[in-house]
Structure 1
Amino acid sequence: MTTYFSPLDPFNVTFRRTVTNVGFPNSAYKASVVPLRPEIQINVEPEILRFGSLQEKKSFVVSISGQALKNGSFVSSSLVWSDGSHSVRSPIVAYSIKA
């Protein structure tokens, strides 16, 4: 997930994603954000995806917000879904650029 914004302006961006269970039936994946960055706030809803069967689809929302950053600066992190044995990682990058 990548977003850009005008320098020196606060920002708030929402991503909607849908995933498909290709692991085990009756599994649950918990979201975590690593590393936590003081420059941005990242919220994931729901925090846990519970699957009852293979090929079942679930949707989630990632909201990213932060205060103004200087032109050309960026912040990166990752959203990790884990069931304790398996992990799925999605990179998150937010950067400022003049239009």
Structure 2
Amino acid sequence: MYIAMNRFRVAPDCEEAFQRRWLDREVLLKTVPGFVSFQFLKGPKAEDHTLYASHTVWASYEAFLAWTQSEQFRQAHASAGDGRKLTIGGPVFEGFEVLQTVEN
């Protein structure tokens, strides 16, 4: 398994719009082979921002790479630069190979 995460720093006055942009979008991930799950996360607040993250689980690194090269990925990110800038800086990507999973 492979986990792909993007972290975003969002200014306090942009949080509502940032959340709406994510929550109101069309989700194309379910149509891609190897997709397992997605979580949209809200983290701790700092003085100048709140941390958000997208967390996607894939069956394999190869499945994640195929997603990044797919038509669904292009559609999902087509308007990424449109509209008001809602983050402080760009997203920070982190990718992880899963070495162990413990479930209930």
Q: TM-score, normalised by structure 2?
A: 0.39
More helix by share: 2
**With CA pairs under 8 Å and 6+ residues apart, which has the higher RCO, 1 or 2?**
2
Q: TM-score, normalised by structure 1?
A: 0.40
